[in-house]
Chain A
Amino acid sequence: MQGVRILKEGADVPDPLDAGAYLARGGYSAWRKALEAGPEAVVGELKAAKLLGRGGAAYPAGNKWGQLLEIEASPKHIVCNADEGEPGTFKDRFIMERTPFRLIEGMAIAGLVFGSETGYIYVRGEYRRVQAGLLRAFASARRAGLLGRDILGSGRPFDIALVSGAGAYVCGENSALLNSTQGLAGRPRIKPPHLAEVGLFGAPTLVNNVETLANVPPVVSMGGKAFLEIGHPDSGGTKLVCLSGHVARPGVYEVPLGSVTLRDAVYSPELGGGMKGGGRLKFLHLGGQSGAIAHPGQLDTPYSYSDLRKAGLSVGSGAVVALDETVPILDYLAAVARFFVHESCGKCCPCRDGNPAVLDKLLELADPGRAGPETLEALKSLAFVMTEASFCGLGRTATAALRSAWKAFPEEFGRNAA
């Protein structure tokens, strides 16, 4: 399982922001191949690779690219979602800091496929230092001919503009991100129309996560079939997994999809290295705050999109927060609820008013003097309404942790509510 390096390849070089060194190591060979092969062939490889979107929604990248390719319009925009705000997720930062040119090459390949001359990368405001590094990488790429009016003497232009956020989790949602990229408040849009048709400044737009775009050069280089073989039959390639919480060895790890179980992720000496301080694992929070909670009985689930989905879990952003038995589940869920109270953009009622109500009920439930069966009833109905009636994914998934934790730890929910 270990030893496969696609995205971490080149992550330890002494000069990660030097485009010339990237070129000397074979960088932009995928871009050259894409230039020769043409747009349909590139999209075909992405489809064969079964590369699923790495931002959280797991939408097949090949389909997204294919749909945009079919639309006849000019210009088309390329936007990279680098608004990595999902708690427990820090792999996009890893890519931007350690292997920025693979991401740049991925965006440049998108530029070739869609005939776009400008790409945008939207980086969260909390990553100002990362932004500064990226700007240096862009400048280096221009000097080396990897970005600019005439990439590597091909006559093909492509450049990337950086746009900063300023603290809004909802901007990770692609339509909100496009509003923010236009210099507006980052509230989500009504869909349809889909962003492929009406995106940035009303033009057809591709929005992909950092990790998804960084996977494009490897797919083009090795071919979709080889990429698929590295991963799971349903989803090719590797995943950058972000281990945090109470594991002994927190960090970003690259694992071929389907090659390890959740147990391996936590306990393998080469991955999480077990629980620190001899603690016992109580639960995992997978995929971000909007992901579900996994209990120890689910530890043998393979880490792949389809296996996790069958178990009611998700890969999501790649976050794996492992917590030990010192953490009361209601305290944990209250922390999740506080997060969503803060991050709801306020546009729709179920999310704006539902999240504070969920938090209130969780605090009530933790208090023997205030909780009763009606507290549980209210919580259940709030979760239902928010899931069904919220405007965007933020509100619809805000109670995923609550709902799964309720199934895993019913006794802690019921303790005060009898």
Chain B
Amino acid sequence: MTGLAPELDDKAVLAIAESYRNDPQQLIACLLDIQEASRRSYVEPRWAAVAAKAMGVPVGRVYEILTFYSMFSTEPRGRWVIEVCGSSPCLFNGSGELRGWIAGALGVTGGETTPDGLFTLAACGCVGFCAGAPAVKIGDAAYTVSGPAEAERLIRSFREDDPASREVFLCRE
């Protein structure tokens, strides 16, 4: 895998834990931030151990959280995890087609990471944008597109780090 290498070191992990005042009640939020800061959408077990120590919780509890909650991965994924909503309001409003368009734009089938390490195509449960169905969650926002050309444009906006040109695809209500 080339391109985006994980850049997090122990010091950065400790800084994230510190931003939550090492409060064990904020462990989940802290791990989400670590995952985001990894640039590869995952939590390296070593980082988890460092955070556990800083927050004074057993390492096993951190692993339990990483495996219990579906937003976490302990394996590197793409910088952007593209999650197509598979819940019924989206599923019966064309989420299969939407998935196909995005897969085409990425050149992958599913569950895979693009060779440049930028994208992983995945599925997820309801993201709460049923009125804009079918929805796809990328980062912390939900988008929708109505054809392969739009899917290309949406993906390009992430590839070229151009947030302004993806605004138009945000799910509206």
Contact = CB atoms under 8 A, between A and B. Distances in A.
Interface stretch (B10-18, B19-27, B151-159): B19-27
A166 interface: yes
Interface stretch (A33-41, A55-63, A244-252, A385-393): A244-252
Given A87-B130, A323-B92, A335-B88, A163 B26 contact: yes
A332 B92 contact: yes
Contact of B69 (A87, A125, A336, A338): A125
Nearest to A91: B128
For the residues of A in contact with B, the DSSP-based class is mixed
Contacts of B72: 166-167
A227 interface: no
Contact of B28 (A163, A244, A246): A163
Interface stretch (A2-10, A126-134, A307-315, A409-417): A126-134
Contacts of B127: 126
A89 interface: yes
B31 A166 contact: yes
A342 B125 contact: yes
A246 B69 contact: no
A396 to B, nearest CB: 20
B71 A88 contact: no
B65 interface: yes
Interface string A287-322: 001000000000000000000000000000001010
B29 A250 contact: no
B140 interface: yes
Contacts of A335: 86-88, 91-92
A252 B131 contact: yes
A335 B88 CA distance: 7
A127 B32 CA distance: 12
Contacts of A180: 28
Contacts of B65: 166, 183-185
A185 B64 contact: yes
B99 to A, nearest CB: 14
A50 interface: no
B77 interface: no
A165 interface: yes
Given A85-B125, A126-B137, A321-B89, A250 B69 contact: no
Interface string A279-291: 0000001000100
Contacts of B129: 90
Nearest to A180: B28
Interface string A80-99: 00001111111001000000
B4 interface: no
B173 A252 contact: yes
A128 B25 contact: no
Given A184-B61, A327-B92, A89 B25 contact: no
Contact of A88 (B27, B64, B89): B89
A93 B131 contact: no
Which A-B residue pairs are the 9 nearest by beta carbons? A166-B69, A87-B87, A167-B71, A244-B130, A167-B70, A87-B126, A128-B140, A250-B131, A244-B89
Given A87-B89, A245-B89, A335-B87, 10 more contacts: A85-B126, A93-B128, A125-B28, A126-B137, A132-B140, A165-B69, A167-B69, A242-B130, A323-B88, A343-B125
Interface of B: 24-29, 31-32, 57, 61, 64-65, 68-72, 86-89, 91-93, 124-133, 137, 140-141, 173
15 contacts: A87-B125, A88-B87, A93-B128, A129-B141, A166-B28, A168-B70, A183-B27, A184-B61, A184-B64, A250-B130, A252-B173, A335-B87, A338-B86, A339-B88, A342-B70
Interface of A: 84-90, 93, 124-129, 132, 161, 163-169, 180-187, 242-246, 250-252, 285, 289, 319, 321, 323, 326-327, 332, 335-336, 338-339, 342-343, 345
